[in-house]
Amino acid sequence: MDDCLLHHYLDHAVRNSPRSVAITDGKSSWSYQELGLRANRLAACLNHHGVKPGNRVVIAMNRSLSIVEAIFGVLKSGAIYIPVSPETPAIRRNKIIKNSEPVAFILDAQTMKSWQAEDSGSSLPALLICLDRKASIQQTTGKIIINREEIEAFSHRAKAIKPEPGSDFPAGIYYTSGTTGEPKGVVLTHRNIHEYIKWVIDTIGIEKSDTILWTAPYYFDMSLFDIYGSIRAGARLCLADEKCLLFPPLLVELAESQKVTIWKGVASLLMYLARSGIIAPGRLPTLRKIIFSGEVLPAKYLIQWMKAFPDKIFYNAYGPTEATGISMYYRVNSIPDSPEERIPLGKPCENTEIFLLDENLKPVPEGEPGEIFISGICVAKGYWNDEERTKECFIDNPFNPGKGEIIYRTGDLARLRPDGNYEFLGRKDDQVKYMGYRIELQDIEQALISLPAVQDAGVILVEAESEELSELHAFIETSEENLTAKDLSQGLKKILPAYMIPKKFHFIKRIPRNKNGKIDRRALKDLCGRSQILK
């Protein structure tokens, strides 16, 4: 299967395990045979209505089994899928549409209703497909609207596109936001994703008998592990719905009832579960492997997980969307010694090479901070229809110039430790200059979270015209009613130099994070004048 395209994963699973459960949400389940039939009918429908290889198709749905049907239906049609959150604001959605020029949307009834209401009639493509059954859909002039009943009229024996796209053909375009807030469409090819999943199967280890818990949003690259890893292995994918993601007891109950064995979760969700008090010995008995990524997991919470589950295997994983999935990984073999300890990013995957470079693209000495650059077969083709930003971030390999080899500039900072593992230091755009010092905001956040009374923390620099007048502000999530700024300052003095201790501490109910678990610093700045300052 090494040279197959992504939709061949599903074909292979249908041939070998037609009656095995492919996907479940704990209430409904589809076998591989049923998933294959659904994807084939959708592909036939798309082709019948003029969707051709290379066309783009937007998928925007609330969490449901049909997401996987939609992805494989688009792939089988020869088109390129674009996963988009159904909650995407109209302004951002229109930017994505303008950039990618999709010929069709695949939606659920709820998303179709809200998007039609917001649309002037000019931005939505001519073909709209609703995967809900018996949905009441508003007919729009100039649009072809297809419902579930019409899709089921198509043959389930979809003919393969001839010729099929090559493995270097785009499979999906994943839109991310940069520092400007403008959406960037990362182009991931069949080969990018295939080589990543091949590494996952071989190294992390997914077998046919496994059940993978799917908690990541489908429009983030983290979900590639769940969707393609499970189907390539012929394993079982367990979808956690929105309610489960909001209520930790429900998520744990789902994982237990469905006998989940592998979970790749965003670090902030692991933090949330740990703080809920539900993580305890005896829970999650079938879970064998936990991979956390997307953001730094403070050692305080990893200690809590590892003490509760000493028999489980834990991995820290790192990788930007532009490198498809996981670029570095670290198997945590022992419980961290202290809450202040940094969990390493680990070492590069076998299909990846990592460079730490300075601003002149020269290697930094061992132990010194440098920007992470990534090369390898999983590095994306660039940004869709955005040559300028592609040239800025995907550059010619300075160590092998003129050979067409690209390395990706991540904007992340790290250092190489004496043991050969890389250690994450923060984002270049999260580095601030304060009192003449260059400070990583994540250093302060990690120190704060290591304090017993702090559950989560976010730090920003509130800038003034004069650097001397700027102030570091820390936002604190805690359950301790009597916590004071003095308590926090005293605790930090044992960990950080004086110039890194914030001048003001704000108490808020919840640190704002986006859906991939990263701190929303713009939201923190908006809160500056409205939060309670700890005295």
Which of 374, 415, 414 lies closest to 394, judged by CA? 374
CATH superfamily, with its number, for domain 196-348: ANL, N-terminal domain (3.40.50.12780)
CB atoms within 10 A of CB 106: 30
pLDDT at 2 over 50: no
Phi, psi at residue 151, to the nearest 5°?
-65, -40
Report the C-alpha dihedral over residues 270, 446, 186, 391, rounded to 10 degrees.
Answer: -170
pLDDT at 532 over 70: no
CATH class in words for 32-188: alpha beta
Q: What is the 3-state secondary structure (H, E, C) of 212-226?
A: EEECCCCCCCCHHHH
CB atoms within 10 A of CB 465: 7
The CA distance from 276 to 216, in Å, is: 19
Contacts of 490 (CB under 8 A, 6+ apart): none
Which of 425, 442, 423, 452 lies closest to 304, judged by CA? 452
Mind listing the pLDDT tens digit for each residue in 327-367? 999 999 999 999 989 999 999 999 899 999 999 999 999 99
Which of 486, 498, 508 lies closest to 444, judged by CA? 498
Contacts of 162 (CB under 8 A, 6+ apart): none
CATH code assigned to 354-425: 2.30.38.10
Q: What is the 3-state secondary structure (H, E, C) of 300-351?
A: HHHHHHHHHCCCCEEEEEECCHHHCCCCEEEEECCCCCCCCCCCCCEEECCC
CB atoms within 10 A of CB 202: 10
DSSP, collapsed to helix, strand or coil, labels residue 93 as helix
* Two structure tokens written together for 356: 């730490």
pLDDT at 530 over 70: no
Under 8 Å between Cβ of 371 and 413: yes
The mean-pLDDT minimum among 17-21, 386-390, 435-439 falls in: 435-439
pLDDT category at 1 given cuts 50, 70, 90 is: very low
For 92, counting Cβ atoms within 10 Å of its Cβ (0-12 exposed, 13-18 middle, 19+ buried), the class is middle
Going from N- to C-terminal start, the domains of the chain cover 32-188, 196-348, 354-425, 435-533
Mean pLDDT for 131-141 is 72
Mind listing the pLDDT tens digit for each residue in 57-72? 999 999 999 999 999 9
pLDDT category at 430 given cuts 50, 70, 90 is: confident
User: Do 32-188 and 196-348 share a fold?
Assistant: yes
Mind listing the pLDDT tens digit for each residue in 497-525? 788 899 999 999 999 988 777 888 888 98
The mean-pLDDT minimum among 31-40, 247-256, 441-450 falls in: 441-450
End-to-end CA distance of the chain: 62
Kindly report whether the peptide bond that precedes residue 163 is cis, defined as omega within 30 degrees of 0. yes
pLDDT category at 122 given cuts 50, 70, 90 is: low
Mean pLDDT value across the chain: 90
What's the pLDDT score for residue 466?
52
pLDDT at 404 over 90: no
Fold of 435-533: GMP Synthetase; Chain A, domain 3 (3.30.300)
Report the C-alpha dihedral over residues 85, 88, 91, 97, rounded to 10 degrees.
Answer: 10
pLDDT category at 243 given cuts 50, 70, 90 is: very high
Under 8 Å between Cβ of 192 and 392: no
What's the pLDDT score for residue 176?
87
